[in-house]
Structure 1
Amino acid sequence: MITKLLLILLGISIILPLRIEGPHAESEKGPSAGLDDVYGPKPQAPQKKLPAEEIKPTAIDTPRRFGKLLAATQILDSMLNNYDHRLRPGIGEKPTVITVVLSVNTLGPISVPNMEYSIDITLCQTWYDERLRYNGSFESFVLNGDVVSQLWIPDTFFRNSKRIHDYGVTRLNHMVRIHKDGKVLYTDRMIIDARCSLHMLKFPMDSHSCPLSFSSFSYPENEIIYKWDDFKLDINDGNSWKLLQFDFTGVSNETKTISTIAGDFMVTTLFFNVSRRFGFNIFQNYVPSSVTTIISWVSFWIKSDFAQARTSLGITSVLTMTTLSSYSQKNFPRVSCMTALDFYIGVCFAFCICALLEFALLSFLIYHYMKSRTSPRVRHPPTRARALTPLRARASAHARARQQQDVVCEIEDSEEDSDEEEGPSCPAQQSLRPGRTQCPGSRCRLCKYLCMARSCNGSLWQQGRLFIHIYRLDNYSRVIFPVTFFFFNVIYWLVCLNL
């Protein structure tokens, strides 16, 4: 009986595990059970790696990596333990040679009113320090700006700088690289606002050389020597140079020694040569000035009777030139010298003033002539000359001769002359026409150097003088003003462009 119970319990213990494993096996084989009859490779479930296996280094790599790290730490500690960053390399033996490589990232803008310019540079300085030599498998160590305070760094400063901005995002842009042979490379990136003396005499056809001077602040020439290695100017195609009105024409350098109360210092200067683009000034200053001057000549084709039109046109031209002159000085340094643009605008202003004065002179002469025409005629009785005694007649003749010498032109009011001449006649013509009588009260004092008759030959004592008629002033001005302005422009542009 007991034997039977043991056999039953043994059978139950064998059957129950098989029933429990059956559903799990079917569920695992369920998705792929129907793929046994399909042609092709069967899909396999990807094997996942445990996170501990991905991060955990192998036993072989761990001592190797930590071994290099410990070796680098030991080399740096051995170099800096007995290193005194207060003393320059080679002190008391020889001067330290600093090799400079300058990389220009951005040049500009150039501020004309403040006479300064902005430049973004990367300054690379290289020197040898025997105290930093080491032996090891590392060719060089690249260190960030935190180690700069533990090394000797040249005290280079820019002599003509106004403001200097260091890049501090995300860390200060300083880098130190130490080589096995003791060569040290120190790189620093900065933005400098430097002074630039702009000579504006030829503005807007001017060219300038903006300097960037640097030297040591405390070490004289017998302790630190600067040496140029190369000029590296990175000109990007993305218009990173903000020169605006200028074109970059080249770069040059100069090294000299200056004497100060602290000693003789070596100063190295880099010159950035730029020339101005004067296309903007042509359209903003030269063209409006020339057009305003030409418009002022329209008054020469307006009759003198329309005084209001000619006066308003002349005054408008003068005021326009004044506005243009003030606008050209808006973004300009307050210099005492006259620039080429100021000279051109000043000449255009003079042409507008002369056009206005020409009408004023014409109006005055016409008014004087019309006033003399309306004066009463003075007639002398013919019997008065016969009644005079010979002595009085001789004195009267001398008086009339002196009176004629003082007056070049006499104004006649006869009807036959009014049809032939509109202006006054000359004494030379009066001598050819003895029938005319002269009016002592209508003498033209302004005719002393100008003959105002349309057809005046002049007497013998008038030879060599200019004979002109008042009604022909506009005709003369129509030719004289444009021709003079044309020759002025030719000479102006030839001189300015060839200097």
Structure 2
Amino acid sequence: MLTKVLLILLGMSIILPSRSEEPHVESENGPSAHEDVYGPQPQAPEKKLLSEETMRTLTGPHRRLGKLPAATHILNSILNNYDHKLRPSIGEKPTVVTVELSVNTLGPISILDMEYTIDITFCQTWYDERLRYNGNFESFVLNGNMVSQLWIPDTFFRNSKRTQEHVITMPNQMVRIHKDGKVLYTIRMTIDAGCLLHMLKFPMDSHSCPLSFSSFSYPESEMIYKWEDFKLEINEKNSWKLFQFDFTGVTNTTETISTPAGDFMAMTLFFNVSRRFGFVAFQNYVPSSVTTMLSWVSFWIKKDSAPARTSLGITSVLTMTTLGTFSRKNFPRVSYITALDFYIAICFVFCFCAVMEFAVLNFLTYNRMKPRASLKLRHPHIRARALTPPRARAHEHPEAFVCQIEDSEESDGEEGPSCPAQQSLSRDTIQSPGGCCKWCKKYFCVVPSCEGSIWQQGRLFIHIYRLDNYSRVVFPVTFFFFNVLYCLVCLNL
């Protein structure tokens, strides 16, 4: 009995120390399988956060980027054995390139340099069987960095003088590859293209500025261009810089150009513009017309005021010369005469004729008065004879001009010299060759007052001393009819 009690105590003494040491060993060796029973340890929250972050990393991004490896695999597979130096279907058939344009900005048009600026988005489409692929992607959109790895048509603009490709912030190029091998290549560029301007009708002219492009190295047998149902987007809402012109439309043509390298297909777009008349009218036509009409003021100034009439006429002529030079300042040096040049030249002729009218009037007036004055000074005895009744002297000398010389130098109000000669004309006197030439006597009356009728022997006599009165009517009427005829001809050419 005693032995049994000792054995029980010995067993209890062995079991109790082992249970007291067990929690200490777990704390030293780390978490065990009993942490759910005993509750979370201090390290448990950190481990739980790590597990949640790991799950987000492993699930979320992989779900969004799950197709990235597939897309990379497709691109690598189609570009692995791709030779960008060779065109599609080489040796089998020509490559058909479909073209489409979008005009961003048109202008300005430089008349002096005969060129214009255009900003376009140029789209080309073709089929490349080497780029076909199978997959869930309908197309791949690649940026300008991938352009060098693909075959691109070598299209160039035939009438371009300067071409700028936009590279900010990245090269403005885009390539789109479809499943069936269709390739779309888009590029934005600014072109300074030549435009041969025909300035014959300037400033009532209209022009067609071309934009021609073709392949540089592939002839028509290897590359063919065609329009996409002639789709041309005109963004007129943008800030176009035509200034003096109005856009009237666009047309296109297709032609074959023969060169020593072969026959190339060329596509040409014509941008039709017409000039706005307002700017040139206020800069050239209005000053020219006003200067011409200003020269007619001299017809209302007495012919005795030679300085006033002369200065006015010369000023008008010099002003027209300045206007003609100014109109050619920003103008191409063409060898033909434009409509504006012709108008300014006619205005110059009108101003010059106004000056010459006074010169003719002054010459005829004072040239006939001078001999009478010299006759009075050199032969005083003629005064007594001049006082003789005119009829008696006319009987003695029927063809003589009768002039009654007065002592007073005051004018009697009639335009002409102070000696108002009286003309006694008969049929024999008119046909007399003496004095002026026979032709002048038939049609002109060169004395201050003419007693003969206006219509005499079926001829129209012109009174020289009334030349200013004639000019006041002839010059404005002639200039008016000239302007009407000028507008009709220029608008119907």
TM-score class, shorter-chain normalisation, is: 0.7 to 0.9
* Counterparts of 1:356 and 1:242, CA distance in 2: 45
* 1:323 matches 2:315: no
Residues 447 and 56 (structure 1), Cα distance of their counterparts in 2 relative to 1, 3 Å cut: farther
Amino acid at match of 1:412: V
Residues 199 and 70 (structure 1), Cα distance of their counterparts in 2 relative to 1, 3 Å cut: same
User: What secondary structure, in the 3-state scheme, does the structure 2 residue paired with 1:376 have?
Assistant: helix
Alpha-carbon contact 1:423-1:452 (below 8 Å) kept: no
Amino acid at match of 2:111: V
**Pairing of 1:348-363 with structure 2 (within 5 A):** 348-363=347-362
Match of 2:486 among 492, 495, 499: 492
Amino acid at match of 1:350: V
Alpha-carbon contact 1:410-1:444 (below 8 Å) kept: no
CA shift for structure 1 position 56: 7.5
Alpha-carbon contact 1:451-1:469 (below 8 Å) kept: yes
Corresponding residue for residue 428 of structure 1: 426
Deviations 1:132-160 (A, max 9, x none): 00001111110011111111000000000
Corresponding residue for residue 450 of structure 2: 455
Alpha-carbon contact 2:425-2:452 (below 8 Å) kept: no
User: What secondary structure, in the 3-state scheme, does the structure 1 residue paired with 2:484 have?
Assistant: helix
* Counterparts of 1:54 and 1:318, CA distance in 2: 94
Corresponding residue for residue 233 of structure 1: 233
Residues 193 and 475 (structure 1), Cα distance of their counterparts in 2 relative to 1, 3 Å cut: same
Deviations 1:22-44 (A, max 9, x none): xxxxxxxxxxxxxxxxxxxxxxx
* Counterparts of 2:54 and 2:164, CA distance in 1: 43
**Pairing of 1:108-187 with structure 2 (within 5 A):** 108-187=107-186
Residues 357 and 136 (structure 1), Cα distance of their counterparts in 2 relative to 1, 3 Å cut: same
* 1:413 matches 2:412: no
Residues 372 and 158 (structure 1), Cα distance of their counterparts in 2 relative to 1, 3 Å cut: same
Deviations 1:99-147 (A, max 9, x none): 0010000000000000000000000000000000000111111001111
Deviations 1:383-404 (A, max 9, x none): xxxxxxxxxxxxxxxxxx9xx9
Amino acid at match of 2:465: Y
Alpha-carbon contact 1:318-1:352 (below 8 Å) kept: yes
Residues 343 and 489 (structure 1), Cα distance of their counterparts in 2 relative to 1, 3 Å cut: same
Amino acid at match of 2:426: A
Residues 126 and 410 (structure 1), Cα distance of their counterparts in 2 relative to 1, 3 Å cut: farther
**Pairing of 1:360-371 with structure 2 (within 5 A):** 360-371=359-370
Residues 376 and 267 (structure 1), Cα distance of their counterparts in 2 relative to 1, 3 Å cut: same
Paired residues, what number? 414
Corresponding residue for residue 298 of structure 2: 299
CA shift for structure 1 position 412: 3.4
CA shift for structure 1 position 233: 2.3
Calculate the TM-score normalised by the size of structure 1.
0.77
CA shift for structure 1 position 328: 1.0
**Pairing of 1:477-488 with structure 2 (within 5 A):** 477-488=471-482
Amino acid at match of 1:353: F
CA shift for structure 1 position 426: 6.5
User: What secondary structure, in the 3-state scheme, does the structure 1 residue paired with 2:175 have?
Assistant: strand
* Counterparts of 1:282 and 1:80, CA distance in 2: 63
Corresponding residue for residue 203 of structure 1: 202
* 1:342 matches 2:341: yes
CA shift for structure 1 position 455: 2.8
Residues 51 and 324 (structure 1), Cα distance of their counterparts in 2 relative to 1, 3 Å cut: farther
User: What secondary structure, in the 3-state scheme, does the structure 2 residue paired with 1:57 have?
Assistant: helix
Q: What is the root-mean-square deviation in Å for CA atoms of aligned residues?
A: 3.1
* Counterparts of 2:52 and 2:297, CA distance in 1: 96
Amino acid at match of 1:471: Y
Alpha-carbon contact 2:404-2:421 (below 8 Å) kept: no
* Counterparts of 2:323 and 2:444, CA distance in 1: 37
Corresponding residue for residue 310 of structure 1: 309
Residues 325 and 200 (structure 1), Cα distance of their counterparts in 2 relative to 1, 3 Å cut: same
CA shift for structure 1 position 68: 1.3
* Counterparts of 1:131 and 1:99, CA distance in 2: 18
* Counterparts of 1:426 and 1:149, CA distance in 2: 104
Residues 467 and 54 (structure 1), Cα distance of their counterparts in 2 relative to 1, 3 Å cut: farther
In terms of mean alpha carbon deviation, does 330-339 or 126-135 score higher?
A: 330-339
Corresponding residue for residue 266 of structure 2: 267
* Counterparts of 1:348 and 1:214, CA distance in 2: 45
Residues 431 and 224 (structure 1), Cα distance of their counterparts in 2 relative to 1, 3 Å cut: closer
Residues 314 and 150 (structure 1), Cα distance of their counterparts in 2 relative to 1, 3 Å cut: same
Structure 2: which 5+ residue stretches go unaligned?
1-48, 383-396
Amino acid at match of 1:475: N
Deviations 1:38-92 (A, max 9, x none): xxxxxxxxxxxx9997897343344444441111111111111111111100111
* Counterparts of 1:63 and 1:370, CA distance in 2: 117
* Counterparts of 1:171 and 1:180, CA distance in 2: 26
Alpha-carbon contact 1:425-1:452 (below 8 Å) kept: no
CA shift for structure 1 position 372: 2.1
Alpha-carbon contact 2:213-2:267 (below 8 Å) kept: yes
**Pairing of 1:276-295 with structure 2 (within 5 A):** 276-295=275-294
* 1:190 matches 2:189: yes
Calculate the TM-score normalised by the size of structure 2.
0.78
User: What secondary structure, in the 3-state scheme, does the structure 2 residue paired with 1:255 have?
Assistant: strand
* Counterparts of 2:284 and 2:171, CA distance in 1: 46
* Counterparts of 1:58 and 1:83, CA distance in 2: 37
Amino acid at match of 1:158: F
CA shift for structure 1 position 182: 0.2
Structure 1: which 5+ residue stretches go unaligned?
1-49, 381-400, 433-437
* Counterparts of 2:371 and 2:54, CA distance in 1: 118
Residues 410 and 285 (structure 1), Cα distance of their counterparts in 2 relative to 1, 3 Å cut: farther
Alpha-carbon contact 1:426-1:451 (below 8 Å) kept: no
- Identity across aligned pairs (percent)? 69
* Counterparts of 1:273 and 1:228, CA distance in 2: 19
* Counterparts of 1:57 and 1:293, CA distance in 2: 90
